[in-house]
Amino acid sequence: MHGLGIRALVGVLACLLAFEAAAQDYPTRTITLINPAAAGGSNEAMKSIIFDRVAAALGVPIVMESRSGAGARSRPPTWRRRRRTVTRCCSRAAASRPRCRSPGRTCPTIRCATTPIVTLIGTAPLLVVPKSTPAATAKEIRGARARASKASDYGSYGRGTTNYFAFELFKRAAGIDVVSIPYRGSAPLLIALLAGEVDAAFEQPPTIRSYVADGKLRALGIASPERSPMFPDVPTMAEQGYPVSTPGGIVLAAPAGLPAPIADRLNREVNRVLALPEVRQRILETGYEPMGGTRDEAERWVRSGNEAWRIMTRDLGYVPD
């Protein structure tokens, strides 16, 4: 795996763009972007930075609707079944990760039968702790857990999500016994971290960047093969002796059967926006890495991520159907 390229795992967001139109008339009505996380999270920034400009080019409004958990629970409708197109930012993690219950048990797998459109952004989660936690490195978390007289916990979006698996990998590598406390998205998890309700979490850079800068949270490691240019002083988890690497991103995709002219136009418009210097700068300022590329590249990115998730879940003891 190299940086946040096409082999990176995806697990930040899944979204839906729903519209009713024949391919030759697209688009003729408002497009709805479904955010499968709680409102107020970092995903909403991508709507204003990227899709407001795409909406101007398409000549129709694009609105965002938050539906916590939509990326992991909904099966996308097909073009043929409903005579409408649903385009989805289907993460590779959502396409392949199991809805996990406990290790050693069979977990149903989401079959994301999609037409990938374009890779939007790349990212990797950071291991963060509240300022009240004295640990300054990942190894010090291990030591603190070993000395703790009470049960410890960490925050996640629930079993089967990216930050859940990142911490489970760390938990296994460090030999610590901690419990996952699930939250319905980045906004409520951030509140819990700041309040000290959980001891630690893996969270995405856009969510925690400003809080790390002002000292309210402390970043101890990043789950990617390389250090982030936005956090040059934060070592990778591997540098500290823990093989935890779950870089990710967002892929705009659609159910199988989407007419090629629509897919091609969406790809062109999004790539045009992603190439704008002011857009790239704003994405970098949020903590994400702007990407883009062809439809084939997006499909390869999803497929390689599926395989990486399959190996990760297998190694952790989860067996998908």
For the chain, domains (ranges, CATH) are 16-123+249-320 (3.40.190.150), 126-240 (3.40.190.10)
- The pLDDT score that the predictor gives to residue 269 is 95
Residue appearing with tokens 């996990």 = 100
For residue 203, what is the enclosing H or E element?
A: strand 201-203
Which residues does 41 contact at the CB level (< 8 Å), separation at least 6?
35, 185, 186, 187, 207
Residue appearing with tokens 């002002």 = 214
What is the residue-level pLDDT of the chain in tens, covering all 321 positions?
A: 333 333 333 333 334 454 444 556 778 888 777 776 667 666 678 888 999 999 999 999 988 887 765 444 434 433 332 323 334 454 444 444 444 444 443 343 334 567 889 999 988 999 999 998 888 999 898 766 555 545 578 999 888 788 898 999 999 999 888 889 999 888 899 999 999 999 999 998 988 999 999 999 999 999 999 998 889 999 999 999 999 988 888 888 777 787 899 889 999 999 999 999 999 999 988 888 899 999 999 998 888 877 887 887 888 777 655
Closest to 274 in 3D by CA, of 255, 297, 300, 304? 297
Exposure of 118 by Cβ count < 10 A (0-12 exposed, 13-18 middle, 19+ buried)? buried
- The pLDDT score that the predictor gives to residue 126 is 96
| Nearest-angstrom CA–CA distance, 135 and 218 | 9
- The pLDDT score that the predictor gives to residue 12 is 32
Closest to 186 in 3D by CA, of 39, 73, 77? 39
Other Cβ atoms closer than 10 A to 241: 11
Q: Indicate the pTM of the whole model.
A: 0.70
| Token pair recorded at residue 280 | 């790239």
Gyration radius of the chain over CA positions: 19
| Nearest-angstrom CA–CA distance, 216 and 133 | 11
